[in-house]
Amino acid sequence: MFTVNKEMNFHAEHDCLVIGLFDKPTKFDGNLEKLDGLFDGYLTELVKSGDISAKKKAISKIHTFGKIGAKRLIFVGLGKEKEASFEMIREAFGKVFKTVKASKFGEAAIYVDTFTTESIEAQDVAHAASEALALSTYEFEGYKQKSNEPVKNIESLQVYTDTKEVEEVQAALTVGYVYGKGVNSARTLVNLPGNMLTATDMANYASQLGEKYGFEVEILEKEDMLKLGMGALLAVNQGSTEPPKMIVLKYQGKDEWKDVIGLVGKGITFDTGGYSIKPKDGIVGMKTDMGGAAAVLGAMEVIGELKPEQNVVAVIPSTDNMVSGNAFKPDDVITSMSGKTIEVLNTDAEGRLALADAVTYAKHHGANFIVDVATLTGGVIIALGNDTTGAMTNNEELFEQVLEASYEAAEPIWRLPIFEKDKERVRSSKIADLNNSPGRDGHAIMGGAFVGEFAEDTPWVHLDIAGTATTRKNHDLGPTGATGVMVRTLALLVERFETEKN
């Protein structure tokens, strides 16, 4: 799909040639001066007139009239060179590839060197381009009757660069695309309706990943959970006719099973709220309540493709949360796998119950560090909006590594505090060790503090993606619906993890 060429060839045939344009004096230099010469200087005139714009993410499509091999030139504005960032360039490519797809071009070429700066090298541009190609052209097909009109996808990407690091550019193209495809896999899982993605379906999907990448797979059935005392997850499942699953994938990238990173993802395939039932408007969209599980599975896909030298155990507690004569109810007291008892004050605070047993089971599998991801609370949306993931932790060193990964992935997180008084509120039940819903104030913090009771002394970071797992608007890197948020952050964390920092 990707081909790297060591030098620019303007006479090679392409559907389109993509060129970056920074906001600077209008005179072209180097190879772009040669290109301008092939157009008898008209490109310079178009820049001067504003028909080719260097404004950030502006797209200018020019017919070549056979003067070069490409049918179209696509200039993408990059703004001021000193202000350029990896994320902006990636978004610019996203806008380009949406234009290319809409034009029904099956192939594109990029002159990478026109996007580089002092801090952004050719391999960075290549990574941004291939990741954007996967992300921006993603579509969830859904279940409408299919049109007979053929769909034209971008099937190949030619890359031109004058850099000597051709192998590094080629590798970056592959890695970027792998990250993008992992995000898209997570998006598709989240977009699936609850009747099309049950806990059993999710377990089957995880098993297929395991078979493809050689992961060790363990799927706990209800009988296994009863034997292990997973009363928290089983309580959530009580009202359902669908059996629960505790899904485990193990990837061993080191000779010994040590320094294990545990990735725990909430896998509630549909959440009615149980007897603390959601309102009619709030219940729509609850098929997305397994966004944390999707993020973990997407990250495991990336890990399986790139094979980092780390040990990882992924644990996903999966069920739906339904209402029936058998469903758990407020005032129930349940016993988690850890032995801690929990007074249920709100059956809609079910995700933290599922995570409680999953975190305990991740430690059972030797997890030395735990990162859990969950669409846990509406409170995090009130606090941080829909663009920032809420984070909590009991360990500064682990949090710093997660923060660095999120920054590089352009998936912003913001840390919320857990103070001793927050822990006391979670422990405030008069009849059990913990209560699952101490009140609306500090809602997001209470959810994280509850999960932290099961992490105990194990270094742990909690990521609440209730606001960031989906979007209501089209954007440069994808459509409305699921975002696949935290796939890249988790994968980067595993790829760059440094044990000595913890």
Task: Cite the active site residues.
Answer: 278, 352
Where do the DSSP E strands lie in 292-444? 311-321, 333-335, 341-343, 367-374, 389-393, 413-415, 434-435
Residue 350 is labelled as binding a ligand: yes
Q: What does the alpha-carbon distance between residue 422 and residue 253 come to, in Å, rounded to a whole number?
A: 37
What's the per-residue H, E or C state across 63-123?
A: ECCCCCCEEEEEEEECCCHHHCCHHHHHHHHHHHHHHHHHCCCCEEEEEHHHHCCCCCCHH
Which DSSP letter does residue 51 get?
S
247: Cβ contacts below 8 Å, ≥ 6 apart: 202, 203, 206, 218, 219, 220, 267, 293, 314, 315, 316, 317, 318
Please give the backbone phi and psi of residue 384, each rounded to the nearest 5 degrees, phi first. Answer: -125, -5
Which residue in 354, 389, 392 sits closest to 466, CA to CA?
389
Crossing angle of helices 487-496 and 166-191, rounded to 10°? 140
Which DSSP letter does residue 23 get?
S
Answer whether 429's CB lies under 8 Å from 453's CB: no
Residue at token pair 């909590």: 392
Residue 271 is labelled as binding a ligand: yes
Q: What does the alpha-carbon distance between residue 316 and residue 452 come to, in Å, rounded to a whole number?
A: 17
Pairing, β 107-111 against β 14-21: parallel
208 burial (CB, 10 Å; 0-12 / 13-18 / 19+) is: exposed
Crossing angle of helices 166-191 and 291-306, rounded to 10°? 150
Which residue in 268, 195, 180, 193 sits closest to 484, CA to CA?
180
Length of the chain: 502
Cα dihedral 37, 43, 48, 49 sign: positive
Q: What does the alpha-carbon distance between residue 109 and residue 89 come to, in Å, rounded to a whole number?
A: 16
Provide the β-strand partners of residue 392: 462
Q: What does the alpha-carbon distance between residue 405 and residue 412 come to, in Å, rounded to a whole number?
A: 10
Instruction: Please enumerate, by residue number, every residue annotated as part of a binding site for Mn(2+).
Output: 266, 271, 289, 348, 350
Instruction: Please enumerate, by residue number, every residue annotated as part of a binding site.
Output: 266, 271, 289, 348, 350
